[in-house]
Structure formats: C-alpha cells, structure tokens
Structure 1
Amino acid sequence: MTSTRCNSNFRKRKRLVSKRSCCHKQTTEHNLNLLLSLHQIHSLNTDESAMTSKGAKETIASKLGFKSGSSACSKTEAELEKIRKENAHLRRKIDELAKRHIKPPDSDKSKLLERILSLETLRERNNQQLLVKEQELETLRQQLSARGGEVVASLQAQLEQRRKEAEQRDVMFQSLSQETENLKNKLVTVSARCQSLETQVTNGQVPPADLALVQDQLRDALEKNQQWLVYDQQREAYVQSVLARTLELEQQLAQAKQQQQQQQQQQQQQSKQEAGSDASANPVGPDKDAQLKSQYDQLLLGVQRDLESQKDQATRAQQELNVQKEQTLKAQTELQSQKEQVTRLQEEVLALQRRYEDKCSDLSSFLRRYEERSKELEEAKMQLQAERLGNRHAVSEERKVSSERADRMRVELENMDIRLEEERKRSAELLQQVNMLQKSLLSQNEEQRRIAALEQQIQLSAKDFENEKIDRQTMQHQLHKVLKELRKARDQIAKLESAKQPNARFSEPSSYNKLEFERLTIDDHPGLTSPSKVTNLLDESFLECPKCRTPYPTSRHRELLTHIDYCLA
C-alpha cells in the first residue's frame, strides 16, 4: 500500500512538474511572442518616427533650402526592412511551434536569445539614432530660427529701404514743388519787371531801379570827387604856404647865421683893436672886459635861443609838410580809387544792360523749361502715386507671406515637438515593457533551471527506485522458484511419508504444509507488506535543493517541495 501510494505521489508530482513545464513553456512562448510583437511595434514606431522626422526634415530643408542626408536614412531603412523580415520569419516559426506543441530545441532557444540580444543592440542603435535625429532637429530649429530671423531682418531692411526711398521721393517732390513755387514767383517778378520796363521804354519815363541806383552812386561819387578836388586844392595851397614859410624861415636862419658870424667877426676885430689900443695906451680897467664878456654871452644866448626856436619851427614845418604830403598821397589814391569805381560802375551799367538782355532771353527759355518741368512734375506725381500704391501692396503682401511663413514654421515646430514627446513616451513605455519582459524571462529561465534540476533529481530517484524494484522483483521471482522446488520436494516427501503412514500422519503434514506455505507466502511478499523496508529504500536515495543544496531523503519529498518554495521565494 505504501509503495502504491509512493508511486501515485510520484506520478502526481511528475504530472505537476510536466504541467508546470508545459505552462512555463507556454508562458515563455507567450512572452517571446509579446516581446517580438513589442519589438516590432517599437521598430514600426521608430520607423514611423524616422519617416515622420525624415519627412518633416525634408519639408523643412526644402523650405529653408538645406540638403538632407539621404544616404544614412536609406541605410537605416534597409536595416529596418531586414529586421522586419526576420521578425516576421521568427513569428511564423513560433506560431508553427505553438500550433504543433513541439518543444523548441536548445539551438532555437539560443537563436532566440541571440536574436533578443541583437534586438537589444538594435534598440540601442535606434536610441542613438533618435538622439542624433533630435540633435539634427535642434540644429534645424536653430537654423530655422536664425533663417527666420534673417528673413524677418531682410524684410525689415527692405521695408526700411522702401520707406527711405518713399521719404526721399517725398523730399524730392517737396523740393520740386518748392522749386516750382520759387520759379513761379521769379517768373511773376520777372514778368512784372519786364512789363514795367516795357512801359518805361514805351513811355520814356523813369529809368529802372538799377539804373537809378547806379546814377545815384555816380552822383555821389562825382560830388565826393569834387569835394576831394577842392580839398586837394586847399591842401596843395596849404602845403605851398607851409613850404614858402619854411623857405622864409630857412632864409631867416641863414641870414641870422650870417649876421651872427659877422657879429662874431666884428667883435673879434673890436677886441683885437681894443687890446691893441689898450696896449698902446693906458690899459682899460677889468670892469669893461667883464661887461663886454657878459654882453657877448647874452648876445650868444639870445642868438642860440633864436636858432633853436627857428630849428624847432623848421622841424615842425617839415613834419607838417610830410603829413601834408602823406595826406595828398592818400587823397590821390582815394581819387584814383573813386575814378576806378566810376569806371567799374560804368562797366556794371553796361553789364546790367547786357544782363537785362540776357535775362529777357533766359526768361523765354525759362518759360519753356517751366512748362517742361511742370509736365515732368505731373508725370513724377503720377509715377510716385503708382509706386506708393505698388509698394504698399507689395509690403502688405510680403508681410502677409512672412507672417504666414512664420505661423507655418511655428506650427510645424510645435507638431515636431509634440511628435518627439509622444515618441519619447512610447520609447520609454516600450523600454519599460522590454525590461519587464527581460525580468520575467530571466525569472522564468531560473525557474526552468530549477525545475530541470528537480526533474533530474526526481528522474534519478525514480531510476534508483525502479532499479530497486526490478531487483526486488527478480528476488521475488527467484524465491518463487525456490518455493516451488521446496513444494515439490515437500510434496514428494509427503507422498513418501504418506506411503509409509497413510492415515495418521497425513493430516499433520498437511497442516504443517499449510502453515509452512503461509509462512513462505508471507515471506514471499516482504516488499509489499513491510513498510520498514520500503522506507529504508526511500531513505537510501536523497534529493537536494537546487539553490542551497540541502539534502532530503525521498520519503521527505513534500518537505523538500515546501523548502524549495520557501527558498526560491
């Protein structure tokens, strides 16, 4: 009974292990399918994001005039196509295996693991490519913002140029209008002067204002000239009188000098005569000599004073004469300048007459020019108005186009940002799912290893048990043979004894034989009835925990299972 129970428990355990392995296989297949589907979704999302980012880049580059690197995109697309085909092929294989319920070999598992690793590496590559594409998008944004700023700056510069041109044209128009007004005023004044001159010429009345001014200037010049002539005559008479006075003074000076010399000579002669007479006669007293000396000295002083005064008068007269000469020279120069002015005025009068004639000729040409200018001015007004209208329309259209471009670029940038955020979220979710699947695969692989180790231990214990069972069965078979031979021998002995003692002894050996047979039959089945021997056989084989390697006998397999659940949890 115990052996049957053990066999039933062993079979149940085996079924449970097989069920667990099947469930584990199904879960692994399901997880692999999920992983492949998620990777395909991730690859499709990356393809879509790459295609969208590529399309957006191409549109932005085509709008901005940049060239996109198509070689790298074509290579990535070719790799993604290969990966899609391989994923589809693997999915078909897994579906076929799931339909057939065939256990995939270890080579397929290794291939799947290699494929998962390759997918991981490809995911890393795709992440790197996404980072590169994000950097390219950032550069495109910067270029777009810079290009948009350049476009706006160029448009603003064009607007400023147009405004400046319009202002210059306004200024030119105003200056032309002012010139036309001035020309009109000049024309009016010239026409009025022409009319007045014509009336004066026809009537023979008052000369024009310029001629009157010139005549007044000539009269003033003639009057001043006459005054200068009178002044010059007076000055010449004064100079002549001064010269005559100086001559008289010089003559007086010469006469005084001569008289002084004569007086000195006379005095010397008198002194000599007196000295001779004194020497001849009685000498005169010293008083007379002193008186004579004093008189002589006084006369000398008076003569010297007269000479000095005459010299002073002569120098004064000379200075006055020089001043008068300078004044006469100045008057002559002024008179010469006045004469020159008169000649100049006469020349100017002639020039004015010529200019008047030229002005009359210029007036006719000016009238023609005025008419031409008025026509040109009207044409310029029309052109300016047309250009203003055209510039306004062009500026409004350029503003609209620039605003529309800016709005489009902003919308595209916002859409690209939204797509990038969505792709980042999707990639993050897919990464989380892949990590979860990897963790589940790792845990399932560990469980598979544990179950495989337990299955091996159970198979070993089952083999040991079967070997022991076979040995026991062989022993039982041999015992049956021995018992049969003993029975035959006993039967023969009983027959022989019965032949000797037919009646009395026949019952005893039969009872003895029955008892012996029962004992032998009881001894024949010791494995079936003796639980101690079964437990001894089960205790001889041991099972180990796959994690901590603690040994358990096969009779305590339930404790081992609880220990494994506790240890692996």
Structure 2
Amino acid sequence: MASKVIKEMNISKWGLKSGDSKSESELQVYRKENAALKKSLEEITKSKSKLKPEERKRLLEKILALQTENERYKNVLRERDEEIQLLRDKRKSRSENSEATSTLDQLEEKTKEVAKREQLVSALTEEVNRLNSQLSIVTAKCADLENRVGKNSQEVAASCSGTSVNVNEVEVQLKDALEKNQQWLVYDQQREAYVHSLLVRIFELEQQLEAVHQKQGKDARLEEQKQRSEQLLAAAHNDLEAERLFVAQLNSDLSELKRKYEEAKQEVKNLNSLLMLHEQVNVQALQDENHIKDQMLQRLTHENDITQ
C-alpha cells in the first residue's frame, strides 16, 4: 500500500503515466487466473475430494508462470543498473571550466550519493534472486504435496509434519522480503530528497543563467560562460528526467514483485490447508475401517466362544 501511495505521488508530481495498456491487461489476466485458482481450491475443499489431474496441472502452470515473471523483473532491475552506470559515465565525460567546474563537482557529489543508494538497489536485486530460488523450492514442494495426496493416510500423516515446517520456513522468508521492501521505501524517500535537492540546484542554475543573460552584452567571456551554463542546465534537466523515470519504473516493478510474492504465499497456505483436510478425511476413514474390523473380530470371537 505504501509503495502504491509513493508511486501515485511520483505520478502526480512529475506527470508520469502509471504504465502502458499491455502491463495493465497482463495484470488483469493474472488477477483473473488467481481468482479462478482460489475458487477451484474452495470448491475442492468443500467437496472434500482429491485434486483432479487437470486441476493439479493448472496449479503447477500457475506457479511456473510466477517464476517466469520474477525472472523477467530481475532482468529489468539489471537493465536499470546499466542505465544508472551510463548516466554516471556521461557525467564524467563532460568538459569542465571555472564556474562550470564547481557546479559539476557538486553534481558529482550528488552522483556519489546515488551510487550509495545504488548499493541498496543491488542488495534488493540479490534479495529478489534469493526469493526467486526459494519460489522454485516452493514450486517443487507444491508438486510433491499434490503427488502425496493420493497415498494412504499414514504416508500423508508422515509427510504433513515435514511439509508444514517447510511452508512455515518459506512464510518467514517471505516476511523477511517484506522487511526488505520497507528498506526500499526508505531508499525511495532518500531518492526523493535527492531529486528535490537537484531541483533546487537547477533553480540556482536558472538564476545564474538569468544573470548571464542580463550581462551578455559586456564581453565574449560572459557569453561563453552563459552557453556553458545553458548546457549544464540542459544536462541537469536530462539527468532529472532520467531519475524520475527510473524511480517510477522501480516503484512499479517492486510493487508487482511484492504482489506476486503475496499470491505465492497465499497459494502455499491454501495447498497446506487442502493437504491437512485430506489428511483428516483419510485418518477418519482409517479409524472407521479399524472400528469395523474390531466389531467383526469381537463378533467372530463371540461366535467362536458360543460354538465351543
């Protein structure tokens, strides 16, 4: 929710769009598939029956789709890192002189601050990779749970405890991912502060440019200084626009990843509940069968005693 609010603030502040029609349509498709999956799980739970092969196949395809999406967003983050490095290289290649040199030095200090924040982005990327690996483990566990549902009650009871522990471990790891998302929000706020300071610097450059315009008739040196200031101002505007787009895209990608992890977490919980339900049904059936066998044994024993 916090990521969504920050993203909307960025949109209203900079006039950016929240995403193209293709991303929105894909999001709607994923929501419909998730709703259908949850509905199927509810129907299976109410009917207390085993999963059909096609339903089990659909669950596995959904989990694989989530894994593919996570890989795609990991590539997007890597591309954003390359764009940041390109911006840093452009800053280093600019020519410097007297007053422009001082201004570029200040911008270089800001760039160093961005580099520190990029380390946090790198840490988040590594966390996404780790969670992607954990999602693969969850996928394998879900497939294994589906295969075990069809076995007898004793095998289900034996595997249930171990699987529950693994599911709990994954839930703890997902909570840790949410804490990392909170760290991202702090980083995003720091980036907003940097953008604000950059705007202040741009305003100062505009004031300097205005002063240069007022004195442009004095000598050629002031004219050259004005041109360089204009170039510096244009470069600063381009940098600011790149930062805006980068922040908006990262907010969108991180929100989508968070939603995917929440869906995967809920699906794991649903599968665990379904497994426990099947275990209860099978155990009850086994108890009923044992009770009938005990009654038959008592009856045969009684008849045998009467015969003797």
Structure 1 segment 238-387 matched on structure 2, within 5 A: none
Q: Distance in 2 between matches of 1:150 and 1:406?
A: 7
2:195 touches 2:240 (CA, 8 Å); kept in 1?
no
C-alpha displacement of 1:73: 4.8
Partner of 2:250: 434
Partner of 1:563: none
CA displacement 1:192-249 (0-9 Å, x = unmatched): xxxxxxxxxxxxxxxxxxxxxxxxxxxxxxxxxxxxxxxxxxxxxxxxxxxxxxxxxx
**Which structure is larger by alpha-carbon Rg, 1 or 2?**
1
Partner of 1:150: 218
Q: Distance in 2 between matches of 1:439 and 1:92?
A: 17
Partner of 1:6: 49
Structure 1 segment 126-525 matched on structure 2, within 5 A: 126-151=194-219, 402=220, 412=228, 415-416=231-232, 418-420=234-236, 422-441=238-257, 443-444=259-260, 447-448=263-264, 452=266, 455-457=268-270, 459-487=272-300, 489-490=302-303
1:148 touches 1:406 (CA, 8 Å); kept in 2?
yes
Partner of 2:119: 85
Matched, 1:120 2:188: yes
1:46 touches 1:126 (CA, 8 Å); kept in 2?
no
Q: Which amino acid aligns with 1:82?
A: K
Q: Distance in 2 between matches of 1:467 and 1:24?
A: 30
Q: TM-score, normalised by structure 1?
A: 0.33
Q: Residues 94, 134 of structure 1: CA spacing in aligned structure 2 closer, same or farther, 3 A cutoff?
A: same
Q: Which amino acid aligns with 2:260?
A: Q
Q: Which amino acid aligns with 2:185?
A: L
1:36 touches 1:87 (CA, 8 Å); kept in 2?
no
Q: Distance in 2 between matches of 1:94 and 1:431?
A: 17
Q: TM-score, normalised by structure 2?
A: 0.54
Partner of 2:69: 27
Q: Which has the higher contact order (CA 8 A, sep 6+)?
A: 2
C-alpha displacement of 1:29: 5.7
Q: Which amino acid aligns with 1:467?
A: Q
C-alpha displacement of 1:6: 2.3
**What SS class does the counterpart of residue 8 from structure 1 fall into?**
coil
Q: Distance in 2 between matches of 1:49 and 1:108?
A: 37
Q: Distance in 1 between matches of 2:104 and 2:232?
A: 19
C-alpha displacement of 1:477: 1.6
Q: Residues 113, 37 of structure 1: CA spacing in aligned structure 2 closer, same or farther, 3 A cutoff?
A: farther
CA displacement 1:156-208 (0-9 Å, x = unmatched): xxxxxxxxxxxxxxxxxxxxxxxxxxxxxxxxxxxxxxxxxxxxxxxxxxxxx
Query: Percent identity of the aligned residues?
Result: 13
2:209 touches 2:230 (CA, 8 Å); kept in 1?
no
CA displacement 1:308-332 (0-9 Å, x = unmatched): xxxxxxxxxxxxxxxxxxxxxxxxx
Structure 1 segment 55-94 matched on structure 2, within 5 A: 58-59=96-97, 61=99, 68=103, 70=105, 73=107, 75-94=109-128
Q: Distance in 2 between matches of 1:49 and 1:130?
A: 17
Q: Which amino acid aligns with 1:118?
A: V
1:17 touches 1:455 (CA, 8 Å); kept in 2?
no
RMSD, matched Cα: 4.4
Q: Residues 44, 144 of structure 1: CA spacing in aligned structure 2 closer, same or farther, 3 A cutoff?
A: farther
C-alpha displacement of 1:85: 3.4
